[in-house]
Structure 1
Amino acid sequence: MKRATITLPDDLEQALEQFMAEQAVPVQLTAVVQSAVREYLGERDDLPSPAVLRIRPAPRGSGQNDVSVSHDQYLSST
């Protein structure tokens, strides 16, 4: 992780403060800046896309057939 100190002009500081104040859930300046940089780099195609989650079904007959109903029992057993 890289730490950086940045200087913002007054108009940008005010806009950021207003944006953060308008959020229903409190948000940290760091999170806003990271999100903005990620979006900027994504638009320029300079950010690698995140890995795609590939969930594949198990072959038929590969295990129990009641796991969706009895999941707590299966997760608690060792």
Structure 2
Amino acid sequence: IALLLEAASRERPVVVVIEDLHWIDGASLAAVQFSMRALTAGRLLFVLTYRGEDIGPRHPARPFLIEAERHRAAERW
């Protein structure tokens, strides 16, 4: 997935939208995490939506969201 996104972003900017992150499974979350870490030079924008009340302390996406908020290129709206 990361190689495909990188190749596509060479031709034009790419926006990856993932809605309802609170429903994400472990494999999909791992793919998103890897892609966001590995693809730092491409023209990519990741837009992730989720309901905050559905991401509790034990939710598998919680550590990912905490890490993403610390990243200098991430913004939380």
TM-score range for the pair, normalised by the shorter chain length: under 0.3
Q: Give the greater-gyration-radius structure (CA).
A: 1
Higher strand share: 2
Question: Which is richer in helix?
Answer: 2
TM-score after normalising by structure 2: 0.25
Relative contact order higher in (CA < 8 Å, ≥ 6 apart) = 2
